[in-house]
Amino acid sequence: MTDQDASTELARLRGTIDNIDAALVHLLAERFKCTQQVGELKARSSLPPADKAREERQITRLRSLATDAGLDPVFAEKFLNFIIAEVIHHHERIAEGK
């Protein structure tokens, strides 16, 4: 592969990465819009911000989906936990009226 070929291929791959990153941002934005509504519903109904049983079910499902998709399930679990921790933080702020 020539240097020119390599830089053309790298630019093509980076274009794909940029598209995927954009899709991830849009998906996350939609998820957080939805969890914002969940947070407001929970605050109105005096429900606790976290639901560990639901999280267990989500993790089991995501790990299985990840394995089937060829993604490291440990990474998928960490990623979901990272997102959920942020959501719980948002829920707590909503419940505090902030």
Q: Does 77 bind ligand PRE (CB under 6 A)?
A: no
Residue 2: phi, psi to the nearest 5? -80, 165
Return the amino acid letter for 83.
Answer: I
55 lines the binding site for ligand PRE (CB under 6 A)? yes
92 HSE (CA, 13 A, CB side) = 8
Residue tagged 């829920």 (tokens): 91
| Size of interface with ligand PRE, in residues (CB under 6 A) | 11
Q: How far is the CB of 78 from ligand PRE (least distance, A)?
A: 15
Q: Which is nearer to ligand PRE, 15 or 48 (CB)?
A: 48
Rounded Cα distance between 74 and 96, Å, is 33
Contact set with ligand PRE (CB under 6 A): 35, 38, 50-51, 54-55, 58, 84, 87-88, 91
